[in-house]
Structure 1
Amino acid sequence: MTAPQKKNPLGPTGRTVAANVRRLRTRHGLAYTELAAKLEELDRPIPTLGLRKIENEERRVDADDLMALAIALGVHPNALLLPPTKDPSHLVTVTGAGTRSAMDIWMWAEGSAPIIYADVPDHVPESQRAEYAEAAFKTNASPEMQDWTKDPNVRIGDRAGDGDH
């Protein structure tokens, strides 16, 4: 009897996250129990079995898990989401974007350049379409351009970390 097919199997980015968690955990010399303890301290517990399942591509990492893992491993979230290379000759596959150069993927993730150009209005001349799409991307990628006042997760505090506990 074969195992049932998963309804929504792990995609290429999920597999990259699994590999990066394993790579970074072992690079830092952390046992599963040590990483689990760090995550417990961050109020985002993932038991050792859960960590093993993440690394074995048997458990998904949600956005909150990703942030806690990045903090526990002392890395930027992009270090978990993306391959550990920016070499333009290295091709990587990212969910939703297909296969691209590692450099293009990292530039997109860092908010420097779009990976897929947004729809450009028909009235924009052909000679300005790429510039328009890049400007639209950078506007939406920049927190300075966003209206954070309606975000329920943003509040004004007296100092960094105010209200963490």
Structure 2
Amino acid sequence: MSNETQRRGRSVTLGPVGETVMRNITYHRTLRKLSIAALADLVTRQGHRLTRQALSEVELGNRRVDVDDLVALARALDISPATLLMPLTRDHDDTVEVIGDASAPAEVVWSWLTAEVPLDYRPGYGHTPEGEADINEFRRDSHPSWSRSNHSEAG
């Protein structure tokens, strides 16, 4: 499902990740009892200019969030950027649409976003020699070099 809106003659189309980020910004802002103005001001005070109008357009789906916005909003909301990318689900095994034809259980998507397992991981796979090797390779490629020694075993 995508959200398409018209803005100043331009069409803004959000894919599943864009819609997730839009919903999560609103959710976490509301959870902290922050107004749009208060969150925009906080983001700006922390060094990333984000107007109230721009944040309002983000929450309405009329403006995309770029990577700098994502990190600045996560910082202001005191959450990980991965939290803004993760769809809200009830259960760990709820299916989550990621992008295109990629979907997976929520716990796998979270583990992928946090660089623990590949997106195509399935429970039990890490307990096979091939699965363990794939997970270790994924972690080696995904983690900063200074942290790799902390993730040498597959889960």
Structure 2, unmatched stretches of 5+, are 1-5, 122-127, 148-155
User: Residue 24 of structure 1 aligns to a residue in which SS?
Assistant: helix
Identity %: 32
User: Which has more helix, going by share of residues?
Assistant: 2
CA RMSD between the two structures:
2.3
Match of 1:25 in 2: 29
TM-score normalised by the chain length of structure 1: 0.72
Q: Give how far 1:45 is off.
A: 1.5
Any residues of structure 2 matched to 1:21-100 within 5 Å, and which?
21-85=25-89, 87-96=91-100, 98-100=102-104
CA distance in 2, matches of 1:109, 1:39: 23
Closer, same or farther: CA 111–30 of 1 in aligned 2, 3 Å: same
User: Which has more strand, going by share of residues?
Assistant: 2
Deviations 1:102-142 (A, max 9, x none): 0110111112111137xxxxxxxxx8543332221010121
Question: Which has the greater radius of gyration?
Answer: 1
Deviations 1:69-100 (A, max 9, x none): 00111111111111234733311111256221
Closer, same or farther: CA 128–145 of 1 in aligned 2, 3 Å: farther
Q: Which amino acid aligns with 2:67?
A: A
CA distance in 1, matches of 2:145, 2:83: 23
CA distance in 2, matches of 1:44, 1:95: 27
Checking the alignment, whether the CA contact within 8 Å between 2:41 and 2:52 is kept in structure 1 is no
CA distance in 1, matches of 2:92, 2:34: 31
Match of 2:145 in 1: 144
